[in-house]
Structure 1
Amino acid sequence: MELNENTRLEDLIKEYPALRTGMADINPRFKMLQTPMGKIMIKKATVADMSERSGMPVDELVAAIAAKTGLGAADGSASLTPAAEPLPTARAATPAVEQQDELGEPLSERPAEMDAEPQVERWGKVDGFKVIDVRKAHGNFFPGLKKRAEETAVGEGLHIVQSFEPIPLYDVMAELGYEHVVRRGDAGEYHVYFYRAEQGEDSGEIAFRPIALLNFPVIDEELGDVAVNFWNLTWNDDKRYLSQETRLLLSMANALGAGRMRQASRELIKAYAHGCDSRAFDDVFELVAWNQGIGNFASEIGPSTLFRAYRTIKDQEKRGVPRAEIVEMLKERFGEQNPDVGVQ
């Protein structure tokens, strides 16, 4: 099999299955190959297509793929032939880990190469991590998982299994003092190993993480994967031009225009916590009144939880209360416990 710009990605992955996850080590943009949309791309893309998508020169990409598979001729060409020690796949399994949690079901396998990870070697064996398989959990499993995470001692860990990569959990767990490693299993499921390196605490921002996305697999597992990756691309991609504060303001305005007051309230609080000047909210509400009409503003927006949060900001600023204290007040009054704001 020849490896060049015309080589089809589907053919490469058929011969070397580990490339589907291993490509992300070559370039972070290839991580999307692990998503449902990536499955479609794999069937159509060539090495040249992947080069164009990632911005990597073709020759560098060819060399990286050859190195990733442990192959390559001595003269520097990249003719793929069986290697003596091929890349270990993320789909092998070790002896059974029979643990069970009230949030999920027993799990019998985990990716084998975990023990070889330098980070995992520093943690020690992960066999003792509490296994929580939430693939068949009904409803929002996050409150129970967060409680278990808060109760886990420093030096111990959790092994989460989900049908999609639970990206929104990473920042949440990091605030609680956790490091993590993620691997794919034999059936395409995600195994995320969280190790508590220090005693972190809930800063209060956890309430406004997109945890509701974790409900999508209840409808369809692939939809869950798509939704989480779409959120990650929208909010965490470093290619975005607008500042986070501006993006949150636009998201608040869009939600308000669509009548989604719950989301608009959350975006306002996040924007203020990110440092947005309250005078920007003045502009947004003025434009809403202009575009939607004074009557609609008076009857629908003025009495809303969103506007109460806005008035709280303005009132407290007039009293000279520091921003940090106002943010804490907003989290207390308009957090997940507020039925007009919470999504858990």
Structure 2
Amino acid sequence: MENKIYKVSDECIGCEACIDVAADNFEMGNNNKAFLKKQPNTDSEIEASNTAIDICPVEAIYIDAKENTEKITPIFAKANIKETLDKHPGLKNVLAKLSPKFEKLQKPALYNTLARFANFKDAAKLTGVSVCEILHTINEYLGVAKELIDNAPECISINSAEEMIIGEEITWEEVNERYILNDDTISEIMKKVSSLKAQENLVIISVEKPISLLKAAIGLELKLNIEEGREYRISLFNPKEEQKTNWYDRKDDFDILDVRTMISDPFDIIIKKAYDTEEDNGFRLIQRFEPIPIINMLKEMGFEHQTKIVNEQEIWVYFHKLITEKDDDEKDASDKPNVVIQSATPVAYPVIMRLLQSNKIRKVVNIKELKVWEETEKHLGWIVNGKADISFSALITSAKLKDNDIKVPAMFVWDNFSILTRGYTASKLEDLIGHVIDTPLFAEAPPAKITKYVIEAKGLNYDDFSFSYGEPFGRPEEILMNFVRGVSDTVILREPEASYAQKIMEKMGEKVSVISYNKIWNEINKGFGSFPNAGIVFKGEFVRKHPEEAKLFLEELKSAINWVNENKKAAANLSFDMMRQPPENVELFLKNVKFDYVSGDELVEKVKNYFQILVDQGIIDTKVDNKLLNMFKLD
């Protein structure tokens, strides 16, 4: 039979006329254009394909005269993908129908890189499609499937492949765990099959014979055993020998994380990358400077590193995650809950940094995302829409979220606001009269309302005081800069900005007066003590589904707070990069701030008294009832 090569050009308009007359040979591609899924081999297929040529309204179907003069040879497993597709571009659509992963070959970047160096044996491993199925499909398209079988009898026909997959006797040690294969688990199990490491075993139970999975296993060169009874029991084994290589020799293959052009702090992105990195693997961090805090942080998380100075503006840090022995009760990564953690409270950053070093936490959860916000409103949105499982947030937020499904089981930041002055001495509120007070947020926000409350509670006239707010509202960072530059001589600042201002002014030789809100508050409310400022917020669903993990987080939070209180210098060195301040500024902040873990009945009573004062003074609009107070109980 004459060997003709039928093709479809880009002129195709997707009318599907060819499919109506030659459905065995033509098919619609993902680009809404027809393509030849296989060359016609029989007389009836040739006749149908010739009819398709005749009826195509734009003459997009044709016989390639040039290629027709060449002898078409079969494509084998070791054939280079790019060379093959350059010669037979129609195969791109054919392969895309086999697996969506082949669609990536349409992208120039991958086509000129991945396809350039990979062969079809590699493609089988990447896509989970058996190498035999790939070869049959592309050779059938070229019209040389028979030649493939003649030259490679191990690549049997697709129809007989199912009968030939019989496996072999078990000569490997099996694990105890069993995976049930069904429509819900097939994606997860296929991932496990494709990532089966050298000398590892996987046992799968299936009601039906899982042909696709078995083909994938064969393509991955895994050994397999099949036992057929009331159900199929498949044991897979990767026979490859474990290769122990020094990570230094592999470091150039690590993923690259270049953070030099990022506008916002890349801390959360780096930590997320560290959590996602598997043991005995790593990544290359590219930064403009040597990120000492990140290096220290990741060291505690089980990483070792190597630094390379490329030039004054480019530093490479290779991070490698060490292999650790797993405890008997440690969960696999797939069994751990994925959690999203966020914070817009910089006062908590040193505690968060220490908390993230917890090996106990890493053993029970996967940190899916870690977000550090500069905009409080975005952080609030993630709590409201349930996107964050764990948040570090101001207490006042809970009053706004009373109707949301959240738990606030612990507070650990107290007495967080101060009034600072420069250019004049102030020891009491009346000393501020005649000066404009640069105030956070806006006039109806809690800082301004609490200030009004303490002024009037001290018997002073609120109208004698002047306040200014930023546009659209005052952010602490802007207020800090206005103060140290001399734009403002009186400001209300939270921690850590209040301590930063004091340290900067000290270096400038300027004196700063500090009025503590806690002192004034306790003059008004005798014996009240410290008032709560910020704590940890759980999504209610997270607590219900993972109560033990939630309790562990609280235990490790308490431990992190104790460590920060006892190791202020080390905590400053750990977090100064994230806080964008020199270590000495952060250390002063840690000396000024009050970290104290409070939970349970003590917290509920404290919050109740605090909120009642705020409600009575019209500072917040809520009802201090059991619904509100139950938010502060974990159970």
The question of a shared fold, defined as TM-score above 0.5 by the shorter chain, is answered with no
Structure 1 or 2, whichever has the larger Rg, is 2
TM-score, normalised to structure 1, is 0.33
TM-score, normalised to structure 2, is 0.21
Higher-strand-fraction structure: 2
